[in-house]
Amino acid sequence: MNSTINIGLLGLGTVGSGVVHIIDQHQDKLSHQVGCNVKVKKILVNHLDKERDVSLSDSPLTTNPDDVLNDPDIDVILEVMGGIDDARNYITQALENKKHIVTANKDLMAVYGNELLETAAMNQCDLFYEASVAGGIPILRSLVDGLASDRITKVMGIVNGTTNYILTKMSKEGRAYEEVLREAQNLGYAESDPTSDVEGIDAARKTAILGTLGFSMPIDLDDVTVAGISDVTTEDLVYSAQLGYTIKLIGLAERSDNKVEVSVQPTLFPHSHPLAAVNDEFNAVYVYGEAVGETMFYGPGAGKLPTATAVVSDLVEVMKNMRLGVNGNKSVVPQFEKQLKADEDIYSKYFLRLHAKDQPGTFSTLTSLFSNHHVSLEKILQLPLQDRDSAEIIMTTHKVSKKNYQQVLHELDELEVVDFIKSSYRVEGDD
């Protein structure tokens, strides 16, 4: 093994500068762990003359990707530039040049992860992507290594810090969604175009990755049923709290009878559940294993140094493999064929909020409809509205198939005694 491992870096934004900082400041520890020095040899950037907050005296910048991808002295390439198409092409070219890859790119891995892992395996190269999900939380390594002997049945968690910050502020301070979103944007937690976060797309990408690794099954982004938080109101949060629940945006991947369900949606948890206590921009992932039972991984889900730490941790793993001569052996393609659950196979409890006529016979009409579809109610809260002819009804169900529940929603919408359905969410952690 060489006395120095040369690194190529694709991107020098927030995470990239964090990677350079950690490699520079932690040379003693890196050398102790892997028996050699680590040097960032070349860095691909968009602008050479941009001011940066890291020392780059020994790391030449370039705007030509071939200077990094085709450099024979570079052993490992760290991709932290983001985007999909260019990153896919660069990583493919690097793998074909027998260079190992570490990426923080969740968008890329959710869409082309299986393809790139196959390319890595064919070229006996490592491809690690711990930083692509939940920032500084080592959840992917825990699924692949720490729980390797167990059979994972369910992975669910808060994997988007922006939406968790928004829901926390709405819940604890009673503020409206639009107001808190503007604050999150001003603080840098949310982008100027927050669609990917608030509509659940970012969480869906991460959940697809978690499902693929947890179940060794090729879960694609299109397999994830997605709903965001833009329609969650302060009233939803208040009524949920009155029934003993907290609302979180949850990515969920669950397996039973070798079939899986993968979704992202606002979900209610009892106040006593550990996920209910995860606030602000923090992330947490709850894992169920047949042997280990329930475990939870908690920490910062994003940020310069937490994410960079995950990137460098993957780099250390690559270098250890280089020392042992076992690179490429962990790029395992999924073991099982994908089998998705149909709606009649998905069971859950639900929270339902609607406005109905406040008149004799309304409740009997509602309960008859629920009974016809084998839906039993667990909790009911009725509140008068300013319009004396209407009432707000909030209820939670016992477990019911998604197919039956969707039919109930459809028929409720057509009932004369129902003015309109205000909201409907899944309920978890209340077995």
Give per-residue pLDDT as tens, 174-210: 999 999 999 999 988 888 899 999 999 999 999 999 9
- Measured distance CA(73)–CA(75) in Å, rounded: 6
Residue 332 located in a structural domain:
no
Last residue of a domain, one of 324, 359, 387: 324
pLDDT at 1 (0 to 100): 55
Is residue 245, in this structure, part of any structural domain at all? yes
Question: What is the DSSP track for 65-124?
Answer: THHHHT-TT--EEEE-S--SHHHHHHHHHHHHTT-EEEE--HHHHHHHHHHHHHHHHHTT
Residues 364 and 294 in one domain: no
Q: How many domains does the chain have?
A: 3
Q: Could you tell me if residue 187 is inside a domain?
A: yes
Looking at the fold, whether 130 and 182 belong to one and the same domain comes out as no
| 248 among known catalytic residues | no
Active-site residue, selected from the candidate residues 99, 206, 349, 402? 206
pLDDT mean over 324-343: 84
What does the pLDDT look like over 398-410, one tens digit per residue? 999 999 999 999 9
Chain Cα centroid distance, residue 181: 19
Residue 360 one-letter amino acid? P
Is residue 294 situated within a structural domain?
A: yes
**pLDDT at 2 exceeding the cut of 80:** no
Distance CA 102, CA 209 (A): 15
Are 163 and 82 contained in the same domain? Answer: no
pTM for this model (two decimals) = 0.90
Span 276-305, mean pLDDT?
Answer: 91
Q: Is the pLDDT of residue 28 over 90?
A: no
CB neighbour class for 64 (10 Å; exposed up to 12, middle 13-18, buried from 19)? exposed
Percentage of the chain modeled with pLDDT above 70: 98
Residues 173 and 291 in one domain: yes
Residues 128 and 206 in one domain: no
Residue 71's pLDDT is what?
A: 96
- Domain extent, residue 312, equals 4-135+304-324
Whole-angstrom distance, CA of residue 148 vs CA of residue 161: 27
Q: Kindly state whether residue 144 falls inside one of the protein's structural domains.
A: yes
pLDDT digits (tens, 9 = 90+) for 242-279: 999 999 999 999 999 999 999 999 999 999 999 999 99
Which of 45-49, 136-140, 232-236 is the least confident region? 136-140
Look over the chain and give the mean of its residue pLDDT values, rounded to a whole number: 92
Q: Is the pLDDT of residue 337 over 70?
A: yes
Bridge-partner residues for 349, per DSSP? 427
**Which two three-digit tokens encode residue 241?**
């709290």
Mean pLDDT of 87-92: 98
CA distances from 377 to 143, 245, 267 (A): 36, 16, 18
| Predicted pLDDT of residue 325 | 87
What pLDDT is attached to residue 333?
66
Q: What is the pLDDT of residue 235?
A: 95
Same domain, 249 and 359: no
Span of 1-5, 135-139, 249-253, 292-296 with lowest mean pLDDT: 1-5
